[in-house]
Structure 1
């Protein structure tokens, strides 16, 4: 895998002890994410105009405005603009809006965020672009003014934005899955179902290939072309997702969580986890639990 950049990663972690805010907003231009940035917040990039390539972790996705781009907490991301860019960058921590506890309300968990495959973007038609532009303008106004109940106002507007984006994303996913489209390839559907069911015990791509009646090379080529990842990365990402959830929402021992996710070597798991998040498993749990005052453990 090629390195995402030769530049060091800049941290933009929300930490109330350092005087940070759970919601942050800034203008987006071609210099905003020129170097890799990692944050413990959910990120929304509203690209009103401009085009280029979006890099969340080792992925690369071409984009052209108007478009919404998304990133999960602890992902490393940067942009490679190919023209002038204008828009808005928004970040919010789970203390501001917890995607998991509000998943039924906003419908974005697994659609816009916490997706392990597919494009992390919503291409905006003229109607959605108009709605998003209006909502982002209202968010900027409320955030800047800081009037009474401005946090509640910003929260409500962000929820509406996520609801509209989720609806459009679901429409685009359905359109991409119509008969005859490459994204509906039955092998990919079967592979993702198998990984979801067996990630904790089956870790070798050739075992999945055999169960699908394919050669490992053919499966790897198909996955890379359609999802932009290797089968190994798909399996590993699902294992890490499982571990991250249990580290965040339980007090079970790290070794036990690692083993349940499928990592037999606790030290290898710790190295991989730190590479993916910037924290060791224990430090990740302690940091997020402190920020959330333990509310994450009540889920």
Structure 2
């Protein structure tokens, strides 16, 4: 089977001509768009973490097929693998930070440090935060400091990036779409379940199998998912399969049969029935609608 996918943007490709850090890019949004907009406005994935802070602008952007309206001092985040596109009106202003998966992991000696931030959950509902006025000066200060010291900052840049993430997490409630009444233990278990889905959704489709991996009963896992997300464990698994189906359908170079194979369905017709049941339209109709 052909291994073509949605266009993937590598951080090294973005910084190659500039001869700057290979694992960190900080730039004003205006200059970033001037150089990269033509190839980045269409749906694409990144291999790195990506955040944009808008200070001015109009239009919208889409993260995993959820549309958001650009607003001043809105910040959005993406983890490697998510799909997004831009559709701006004019040229917005702000800042862009791109960084590799290893940048903070190696610096902080914690392989799971970034997972504590709600906006890096991979759920598009948690990816966008509106900063209140009280946070504006501090966010700008950090961004400007990083721009000024980009070529000489060393570990200081990593400290500023960490400071920025902690600042935004503080003002974005810190827990994304998770109910405030939920205990930290339940939250960690739920996030562990979501991580397992991301790792195994192509091959593991039964809630019982995930429950076994988490050392809980299927009933306990279902009750947890209902409390945290208002859905069953099975629905969350199917949601993840559907998300990847949509991501792949955006790429016209992959046939429906190739996508079915990629997602480990028995055959094309089984995949089409699954997609239509979940989305209410056929894969072909979804692809046609999204491409216009």
TM-score (norm 2): 0.54
Q: Give yes or no for contact 1:12–1:37 (8 Å, CA) kept in 2.
A: no
Q: Give yes or no for contact 2:62–2:84 (8 Å, CA) kept in 1.
A: yes
Q: Give yes or no for contact 1:43–1:90 (8 Å, CA) kept in 2.
A: yes
C-alpha displacement of 1:269:
3.9
**Which of 245, 251, 268 matches 2:262?**
268
CA distance in 2, matches of 1:231, 1:80: 30
The total of aligned residue pairs comes to 201
Per-residue CA distance 1:264-289 (angstroms, 9 max, x = gap):
xx953479xxxxxxxxxxxxxxxxxx
Q: Where does 1:274-293 land on structure 2 (aligned, <5 Å)?
A: none
Q: Which residue of 2 aligns with 1:233?
A: 239
Between stretches 23-32 and 39-48, larger displacement belongs to: 23-32
Q: Give yes or no for contact 2:61–2:86 (8 Å, CA) kept in 1.
A: yes
CA distance in 2, matches of 1:169, 1:12: 28
Q: RMSD value over aligned CA atoms?
A: 4.3
SS of the residue corresponding to residue 115 of structure 1 reads coil
Q: Which residue of 2 aligns with 1:54?
A: 61
Q: Is it true that 1:40 corresponds to 2:47 in the alignment?
A: yes
Q: Is it true that 1:24 corresponds to 2:25 in the alignment?
A: yes
Q: Alpha carbons of 1:135 and 1:110: their partners in 2 closer, same or farther (altered >3 Å)?
A: closer
Superposed structure 1 runs of 4+ greater than 3 Å apart: 29-33, 99-104, 106-110, 171-174, 176-179, 195-201, 234-238, 266-271
Q: Give yes or no for contact 1:47–1:67 (8 Å, CA) kept in 2.
A: yes
Q: Which residue of 1 aligns with 2:166?
A: 163
Q: Where does 1:189-204 land on structure 2 (aligned, <5 Å)?
A: 200-202=204-206
CA distance in 2, matches of 1:49, 1:64: 7
CA distance in 2, matches of 1:102, 1:9: 30
Per-residue CA distance 1:70-102 (angstroms, 9 max, x = gap):
011122322212454101111000232239954
SS of the residue corresponding to residue 35 of structure 1 reads coil
Question: Gaps (5+ residues) in structure 1?
Answer: 1-7, 213-221, 224-228, 239-265, 272-299
Q: Alpha carbons of 1:76 and 1:48: their partners in 2 closer, same or farther (altered >3 Å)?
A: same
Higher RCO, Cα 8 Å, sep 6+: 2
**Which of 11, 14, 38 matches 2:12?**
14
CA distance in 1, matches of 2:41, 2:63: 13
**Which of 100, 105, 115 matches 1:98?**
105
